[in-house]
Amino acid sequence: MKFNAGEIASVIQKEIEDFRGQLQTSEVGRVVEVGDGIARVYGLSSAMSGEMVEFSNGVRGQVFNLEENSVGVIILGDYLKIAEGDEVKSTGQLLSVPVGDSLLGRVIDPLGNPLDGKGPIVASESRPLEMLAPGIAARQPVKQPLQTGIIAVDALTPVGRGQRELIIGDRKTGKTAVAVDAILNQKGGDVICVYVACGQRSSTTGAVVEALAKHGALDYTIVVASGASDPAPLQYIAPYAGAAIAEHFMYQGKHTLVIYDDLSKQAVAYRQLSLLMRRPPGREAYPGDVFYCHSRLLERSARLSDELGGGSMTALPIIETQEGEVSAYIPTNVISITDGQIYLEPDLFFAGVRPAINVGISVSRVGGNAQTKAMKKVAGGLKLDLAAFRELEAFAQLGTELDPATQKQLDRGYRMVELLKQPQYQPLSMADQVIMVFAGTRGYLDKVAVNRVQEAKQVLLTFFTDEKSEVRNAIAQSGELGADAEASLRAALDEFVKRWESSYAAKTTK
């Protein structure tokens, strides 16, 4: 076999000419100090704030502090496996989380790792945890309602798509229950839900996931969980991970609902990290930028303009108060960022009024803009009526004699309070809510005993579902209560009242 030397030489020469050396360079530093979820690293002189770094054992971290001779890194994993002198490699990338449809129905940690034992998550896209909020020109006004299915919320403090409505109250007053019911009510709709459990006990998060699965809501929900036993860095980034996941769908023109449960625990985690990093403490030992920590998160909620697809991201942040102290540092901060608040009162909760919404303190700054025309019409004066009832109730406790008109107002108030009570996991459709509020405010339940209002409510819903479905469907389809629809509704309610009175009389004579 003969070799052609010239041919071999030309091939070698061509390979040499085409050769392009590919050098992969990355800055490497060393751990100077480590402990309590943070590390000081020397040698990463060109690291960016918020950049992702990688320790020699594969654990990831995020650059938190930029100092003169070192950088402070928060460790997103087990810091006990990291020792002084370990290598730390910069990646040149911001900390990101996987996003997309493959996450639906899954329970993940803030880094996108599965926690539900259903196998790995295969996501084709990822999104940085921290993104700039859309500007004024990129938004449009909040006008489309996001139905929570809770009559006290949809009638009195309505939530619109793109709004940020705070749920605030002491522990064990039903804050998570309100948020979970809002998720359940999106079943069969076009809203994708993200539930962020930040600093919650694993058993609490497990109960929420179980409830969502039981009611068929997990199909359109993503759960981002960072438990109370997780390191503070993971609790701090959990809400940002949830926002990034929801934001991905929003920029695709879809509607999303994201729940941060709860931001007071995130603030505590942020305080812990800041104090460990020697950042100067301010009021209640929180760092000076704790307001920015929450505002940059909640400002990402918006209703995008039609040019950007018209998608929306609605936020229901949750804040836990101590002894009803809404004027504490973190509650006042978040109240000033959000577009209203739903205040849950322990006294009402223990008195059996559930959801325990204090109508006087709760407010929606979007108001009637986020209601259907039918609900706006029937619930217009309800809030003032209930506020007047609370005053009269306090006055009546003095034992003074009341004139008939005042007594009538008081009696109706008691029935409206009963009407607004609602069991958990039983959200109501918009049409059912309109019928209920109309019946209560227009006096159709005045002759029903207060202790039987809940029973009458169920009978009323069954009556309209089975026998007067055309009236109910007309309200549901149009979202309005015109003269004809109102006449039909009044006629149906008159018929219901007669039937109720005859059946009630029959029950009492037995």
* 354 shares a domain with 288: yes
Q: Print the domain residue range for 264.
A: 98-371
Residue type, 381: G
Q: Which amino acid is at 404?
A: P
Instruction: Say if residue 387 is in the same domain as residue 499.
Output: yes
Q: Does residue 254 fall inside a structural domain?
A: yes
Cα 427 to Cα 152: distance, rounded to the nearest angstrom: 11
How far are the Cα atoms of 75, 165, 220, 356 from residue 240, in angstroms, in the given order? Answer: 16, 17, 20, 29
Task: Report the sign of the C-alpha dihedral through residues 136, 141, 145, 148, in that order.
Answer: positive
> Whole-angstrom Cα distance, residue 340 to residue 329?
17
Same domain, residue pair 349 and 388: no
d(C-alpha 73, C-alpha 60), whole Å: 10
Does residue 11 lie within any of the structural domains? no
Q: Which residues contact 298 (CB under 8 A, 6 or more apart)?
A: 164, 315, 317, 334, 337, 338
Per the document, the length of the chain is 510
Question: Omega before 230 cis (within 30°)?
Answer: no
Q: How many domains does the chain have?
A: 3
Residues 349 and 284 in one domain: yes
Question: Is residue 493 a part of any domain in this protein?
Answer: yes
333 touches 283 (CB < 8 A): no
Whole-Å CA distances, 410 to 27, 152, 394, 455: 73, 19, 11, 21
> Which helix (H) or strand (E) segment is 190 a member of?
none
- Rounded to whole angstroms, the Cα distance separating 66 from 57 reads 23
In a domain, 2, yes or no: no
Instruction: Identify whether residues 156 and 251 lie together within a single domain.
Output: yes
Contact 303, 144 (CB under 8 A): yes
DSSP 8-state class, residue 48? P
Domain-located, residue 8 = no
- Residue 15 forms part of a structural domain: no
Q: Are residues 286 and 384 in the same domain?
A: no
83 and 187 within one domain: no
Side-by-side strand order, sheet with 363-364: 107-108, 221-227, 191-200, 255-261, 312-320, 166-169, 340-344, 363-364
CATH label of the domain that carries residue 293: 3.40.50.300
**Domain limit, last residue, from 371, 403, 432:** 371
Sign of CA dihedral 480, 486, 490, 492: negative
Per the CB < 8 A criterion, the answer to whether 340 and 363 are in contact is yes
Decide: residue 148, CB within 10 A, 0-12 exposed, 13-18 middle, 19+ buried. buried
Per-residue pLDDT of the chain (510 residues; tens, 9 = 90+): 566 777 788 888 887 777 766 556 678 999 999 999 999 999 998 899 999 999 999 999 999 999 988 999 999 998 999 999 999 999 999 999 999 999 999 999 999 999 999 999 999 999 999 999 999 999 999 999 999 999 999 999 999 999 999 999 999 999 999 999 999 999 999 999 999 999 999 999 999 999 999 999 999 999 999 999 999 999 999 999 999 999 999 999 999 999 999 999 999 999 999 999 999 999 999 999 999 999 999 999 999 999 999 999 999 999 999 999 999 999 999 999 999 999 999 999 999 999 999 988 899 999 888 999 999 999 988 988 898 898 888 888 777 777 888 888 899 999 999 999 999 999 999 999 999 999 999 999 998 999 999 999 999 999 999 999 999 999 999 999 989 999 999 999 999 999 998 876 556 544
CATH number (domain holding residue 495): 1.20.150.20
Q: How many CA atoms lie within 13 A of 358 on its CB side?
A: 18
Q: Is residue 457 part of a domain?
A: yes
Of 61, 94, 127, which one is at a domain's C-terminal end? 94
End-to-end CA distance of the chain: 115
Same domain, 298 and 200: yes
Q: Is the peptide bond preceding residue 231 cis, with omega within 30 degrees of 0?
A: no
- Same domain? For 345 and 404 the reply is no
Query: Measuring CA to CA, how many Å separate 490 from each of 56, 426, 438, 503?
Result: 73, 26, 9, 20
Q: Which tokens in the block code for residue 271?
A: 């305080």
The rounded distance, in Å, linking the Cα atoms of 97 and 132 is 16
Task: Give the end of a domain, one of 62, 94, 126.
Answer: 94
33 vs 276: CA distance, rounded Å: 12
User: Which residues belong to the active site?
Assistant: 365
- Residues 366 and 383 grouped into a single domain: no
Specify whether 185 is located in the same domain as 117: yes
CATH number for the domain that contains residue 48: 2.40.30.20
Dihedral pair phi/psi, residue 287, rounded to 5°: -70, 160
Residue 35 three-state SS = strand
pTM (2 decimals)?
0.92
Q: Which residues pair with 34 in a beta bridge?
A: 39
Q: How far apart are CA 269 and CA 249, in angstroms?
A: 28
The reply to whether 317 and 196 lie within a common domain is: yes
Does residue 19 form part of some domain? no
Interatomic CA distance for residues 152 and 355, integer angstroms: 8
